[in-house]
Structure 1
Amino acid sequence: MNYAEFLAAVGERARMPAVQAENVVRATLTTLSEGISGGEARHLATRVPEELRGYLYKDVDFAERIDLVEFLNEVGVRAGTDDERTAEGARAVLTTLREAMSAEDLDKLESELPKDFRRLLRPADRSVGA
C-alpha cells in the first residue's frame, strides 16, 4: 500500500477529509512509537509507506508505558481532534496498519502494548474496511 492509499483508507474508515486523516495518521504513529520499543518501532516502520516511516523513528529502545486513555488523549492533542474523532481516527490508522502486517507482527506489537489496546487493534464486530 502506498502513501496515498494509506491516507485514503484511513480517511474512508474514519469518515474524515484527507488533511485531517493525515494529521491523525501522523499523531497516531508518533504516539504509538513512544509506547513500543525502538526495535519494534523500526520493524513497524518497514510496514508503512516510506513517507510515514519518520513518525515511527526512534533511536532509543525505551518504551514509555501508556494506557489507552493516555494514548488517545495524546493523539487528540497532536492531531487537534475531539475525543470521538480521535478514537475513530486512531482505530482507522491501526486497522489500516494491521492490514499491512502479518499475524506474527501483530502479535509482537500487541505484546508490547497494554491489553486495552486490543480495542483499537482488533475491534470486535467490525468487518474489514469498516
Structure 2
Amino acid sequence: MRFPRFVDAVSRRSGLPPEQAAAIARAVLQTMAERVTGGEADDLAGQLPDELGDYLAPGTEAIEGRSAAFGPAAFLRRVGERAGVDEATARVGAGAVFATLRQAVTVGEFREMVARLPRGLDGTIEPVPPYDG
C-alpha cells in the first residue's frame, strides 16, 4: 500500500482531512516507536510505505523527558501533541490508523504490534468502519 493510499484510507475511516490524517498516521507511528525494540520496528517498517516506515526508525524524535512505559491515555495524548490535534481527534485518527495498518501488514505483524501497545487501546483498535477503496 503506497503512502497516498494509506493516508486516503485513514482519512476516509476517520472523516478527517487528508493533511490531518497524514499527521496523525505519522504521530501514531512515532509514538509506537517509543514502545518497540529496533528489530520489531524494522519488521513493521518493512511492510509499510517508506514514507511511513521511516517514522519507526531509531532516532525518531521522542517527546522530551518522557519514559517509554505509558498507558493508553498518555499514548493518545502524545499522538495529539505530535499531530497538533485534541485528544478526541487523536483517538478517532489512531483508530483509523490501526484499522489501516491491519490491512497493510501481515496478520502476525499486526498481532505483534498490538501486543506492544498499552493495554486499553483495544477500543481504539477494533470498532472502525471499513475502507472501500
Please give the TM-score of this superposition, normalised by the length of structure 2. 0.84
> What's the % identity of the aligned pairs?
34
CA contact (8 A) 2:11 2:18 kept: yes
CA displacement at 1:129 relative to structure 2: 2.9
Alignment of 1:1-130 (within 5 A): 1-58=1-58, 64-121=68-125, 123-124=126-127, 126-129=128-131
The residue type equivalent to 1:112 in the other structure is: R
Task: Sort the Cα spacing of 1:117 and 1:37 in 2 relative to 1 into closer, same or farther, 3 A.
Answer: farther
Instruction: Report the 3-state secondary structure (helix = DSSP H, G, I; strand = E; otherwise coil) of the residue aligned with 2:120.
Output: helix
CA displacement at 1:128 relative to structure 2: 2.9
Mark the runs of 5 or more structure 1 residues left unpaired by the alignment: none
Distance 1:55 1:16 in 2: 21
The C-alpha deviation readout for 1:79-123, integer Å capped at 9, x for no partner, is 0111211100011111101111222112222222333232233x1
RMSD: 1.9
Alignment-derived partner of residue 62 in structure 2:
none
Instruction: Report the 3-state secondary structure (helix = DSSP H, G, I; strand = E; otherwise coil) of the residue aligned with 1:116.
Output: coil
Instruction: Report the 3-state secondary structure (helix = DSSP H, G, I; strand = E; otherwise coil) of the residue aligned with 1:39.
Output: helix
Distance 2:3 2:114 in 1: 24
Distance 2:18 2:116 in 1: 30
Instruction: Report the 3-state secondary structure (helix = DSSP H, G, I; strand = E; otherwise coil) of the residue aligned with 2:16.
Output: coil
Please give the TM-score of this superposition, normalised by the length of structure 1. 0.86
Greater shift, 40-49 or 98-107, is seen at 98-107
What is the number of equivalent residue pairs in this alignment?
125
CA contact (8 A) 2:48 2:105 kept: no
Distance 1:16 1:112 in 2: 26
CA displacement at 1:11 relative to structure 2: 0.7
CA displacement at 1:26 relative to structure 2: 1.0
Task: Sort the Cα spacing of 1:93 and 1:5 in 2 relative to 1 into closer, same or farther, 3 A.
Answer: same
CA contact (8 A) 1:95 1:120 kept: no
The residue type equivalent to 1:23 in the other structure is: A
